[in-house]
């Protein structure tokens, strides 16, 4: 009887020890603040799903954007720019004993897909988020970020609501700022006095920039002689809008739209012999690729308000552009620079805060650091206010011979 009792007791002790090992390795009783516990079904080492420790582990950064579809150029550029920064940081030894790992998911600019991508990234151990590349998707993601309390730095989500919560910040200018800066830039540099606008009334990004451009134009002495709209259902044939603009006497056409639609407009404007200057914002970046080599002459003289020009001769831009071309056989655009700067901003926050992934106050320290750092980025020298907005200067580039060059006032 004693033997049976002893055997039973020994068996119970073994089972208890086994259960203790399981809790300690695959299913932590308490996940790091702002993250979900790692999934127990993915035992792959160094996948980013395991909880980091203080020694030689990873900071997992998650990004979301369009990698397929009409607007893939933006997501691909952000992803590649971020990859460049991660590679540089890791090759330099990382930060505070941590290397960086970038995970990136495709959302095709769809808000529901973006939220699903965010949840997948959290399941895979994301500790800092790049939000989403486009505004609508980014706004949806911020709702999840707010619940989890993690730091989010969107490279290019430009709508106001993209930084509506305390842990959300951005690299790019807001939509209102782009409209205001564009009107001011045109007036200050005496580029034109009579302007027209073609905008997408079905798109929040386009509407936001247009409304603020028109309001600021009135303040700075620009005359808006024509406002022409289109929708997502009528975004390939612009003959009616261009005919109205030709009749209006506009010297400049402001395009607060994306590159795909701009490619159609520029090609058709060239065919219609419209000589007005075309001027856009960050959404126009990538128009050279969209329009294609056969029609690239239609982009000659097009201007973009952007804080990044790949042909700039400062040491940082020259090095980045050379490395990017070598890695991807392409010239980096503003979205690539935004992605790059977002990663280095995370690095600066980590250095400033001394925060350690897995600690209960990691998220709080990272967020607090954002208003204390200054980042010398590709897109300018940046500081941030508590409302998530960056402070930096706006510049412009012009397309010449199929390439972006820095604008020089005549």
Mean pLDDT, to the nearest integer, of 58-84? 97
pLDDT at 359: 94
Torsion of CA 81, 86, 91, 93, to 10 degrees: 150
pLDDT at 248: 97
The CATH number of whichever domain residue 248 belongs to comes to: 3.40.50.2300
Q: Does 24 map to a domain?
A: no
For the chain, what percent of residues have pLDDT higher than 90? 74
Helix 175-188 crosses helix 204-220 at what angle (to 10 degrees)? 30
Band the pLDDT of 410: cuts 50, 70, 90.
low
- Does residue 290 share a domain with residue 224? yes
Band the pLDDT of 11: cuts 50, 70, 90.
very low
- Does residue 243 share a domain with residue 165? no
Is the per-residue pLDDT at 208 higher than 70? yes
- Does residue 256 share a domain with residue 201? yes
* Token pair recorded at residue 19: 């259960």
Q: Does 238 map to a domain?
A: yes
Band the pLDDT of 278: cuts 50, 70, 90.
very high
Is the per-residue pLDDT at 44 higher than 70? no
Band the pLDDT of 289: cuts 50, 70, 90.
confident
Mean pLDDT, to the nearest integer, of 19-27? 33
CB 185 within 8 A of CB 396: yes
* Token pair recorded at residue 396: 């412009």
Band the pLDDT of 45: cuts 50, 70, 90.
very low
Q: What is the pLDDT of residues 157-168, one digit of tens each?
A: 999 999 999 999
pLDDT at 232: 85
Is the per-residue pLDDT at 43 higher than 90? no
Q: Give the CA count within 13 Å in the CB-facing half-sphere of 278.
A: 29
What are the beta bridge partners of residue 375? 382
pLDDT at 18: 33
SS3 225: strand
Mean pLDDT, to the nearest integer, of 21-28? 32
Full residue range of the structural domain in which residue 275 is found: 176-306
User: How many Å apart are CA 29 and CA 358, to the nearest integer?
Assistant: 13
Q: Does 165 map to a domain?
A: yes
- Does residue 350 share a domain with residue 280? no
Q: What is the pLDDT of residues 373-383, one digit of tens each?
A: 999 999 999 99
Query: What total number of domains does the chain contain?
Result: 2
Q: Does 8 map to a domain?
A: no
Is the per-residue pLDDT at 219 higher than 50? yes
Band the pLDDT of 313: cuts 50, 70, 90.
confident
- Does residue 250 share a domain with residue 216? yes
- Does residue 187 share a domain with residue 149? no
Supply the mean pLDDT for the chain: 87
Of the candidates 370, 364, 339, 247, which has an alpha carbon nearest to the alpha carbon of residue 62? 339
Mean pLDDT, to the nearest integer, of 56-80? 94
CB 139 within 8 A of CB 115: no
Is the per-residue pLDDT at 40 higher than 90? no
pLDDT at 38: 29
| Angle formed at CA 202 by CA 197 and CA 205, multiple of 5 degrees | 70
Q: Does 288 map to a domain?
A: yes
- Does residue 164 share a domain with residue 184? no
- Does residue 136 share a domain with residue 115? yes
User: How many Å apart are CA 40 and CA 22, to the nearest integer?
Assistant: 10
Q: Does 250 map to a domain?
A: yes
* Token pair recorded at residue 269: 């404007």
User: How many Å apart are CA 357 and CA 359, to the nearest integer?
Assistant: 6
Give the β-pairing of 168-170 and 152-154. parallel
Q: What is the pLDDT of residues 221-249, one digit of tens each?
A: 999 999 999 998 888 999 999 999 999 99
Band the pLDDT of 386: cuts 50, 70, 90.
very high
Is the per-residue pLDDT at 200 higher than 60? yes
pLDDT at 50: 36
Band the pLDDT of 312: cuts 50, 70, 90.
confident
Q: What is the pLDDT of residues 116-144, one digit of tens each?
A: 999 999 999 999 999 999 999 999 999 99
């Amino acid at each position: 009887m004693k033997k049976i009792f002893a055997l039973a007791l020994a068996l119970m002790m073994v089972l208890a020890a086994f259960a203790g090992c399981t809790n300690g390795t695959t299913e932590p009783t308490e996940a790091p603040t702002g993250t979900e516990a790692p999934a127990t079904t993915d035992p792959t080492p160094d996948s980013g799903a395991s909880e980091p420790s203080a020694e030689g582990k990873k900071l997992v950064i998650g990004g979301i954007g369009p990698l397929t579809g009409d607007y893939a150029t933006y997501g691909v550029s952000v992803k590649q720019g971020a990859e460049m920064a991660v590679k540089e940081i890791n090759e330099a030894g990382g930060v505070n004993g941590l290397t960086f790992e970038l995970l990136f998911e495709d959302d095709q600019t769809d808000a529901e897909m973006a939220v699903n991508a965010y949840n997948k990234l959290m399941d895979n151990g994301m500790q800092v988020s790049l939000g989403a590349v486009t505004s609508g998707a980014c706004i949806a993601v911020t709702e999840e970020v707010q619940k989890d309390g993690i730091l989010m730095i969107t490279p290019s989500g430009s709508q106001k609501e993209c930084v509506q919560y305390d842990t959300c910040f951005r690299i790019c200018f807001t939509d209102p700022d782009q409209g205001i800066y564009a009107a001011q830039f045109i007036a200050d540099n005496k580029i034109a006095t009579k302007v027209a606008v073609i905008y997408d009334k079905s798109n929040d990004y386009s509407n936001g920039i247009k409304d603020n451009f028109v309001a600021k134009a009135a303040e700075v002495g620009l005359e808006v002689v024509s406002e022409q709209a289109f929708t997502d259902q009528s975004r390939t044939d612009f003959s009616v809008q261009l005919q109205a603009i030709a009749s209006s006497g506009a010297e400049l056409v402001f395009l607060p739209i994306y590159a795909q639609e701009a490619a159609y407009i520029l090609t058709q404007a060239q065919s219609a012999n419209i000589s007005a200057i075309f001027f856009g914002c960050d959404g126009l970046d990538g128009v050279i690729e969209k329009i294609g080599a056969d029609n690239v002459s239609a982009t000659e003289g097009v201007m973009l308000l952007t804080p990044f020009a790949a042909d700039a001769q400062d040491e940082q831009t020259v090095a980045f552009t050379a490395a990017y071309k070598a890695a991807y056989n392409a010239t980096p655009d503003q979205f690539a620079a935004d992605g790059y700067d977002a990663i280095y901003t995370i690095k600066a926050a980590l250095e400033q805060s001394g925060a350690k992934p897995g600690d209960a106050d990691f998220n709080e320290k990272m967020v607090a650091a954002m208003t204390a750092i200054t980042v010398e980025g590709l897109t300018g020298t940046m500081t941030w206010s508590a409302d998530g907005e960056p402070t930096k200067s706006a510049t412009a580039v012009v397309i010449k011979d199929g390439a972006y060059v820095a604008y020089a006032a005549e």
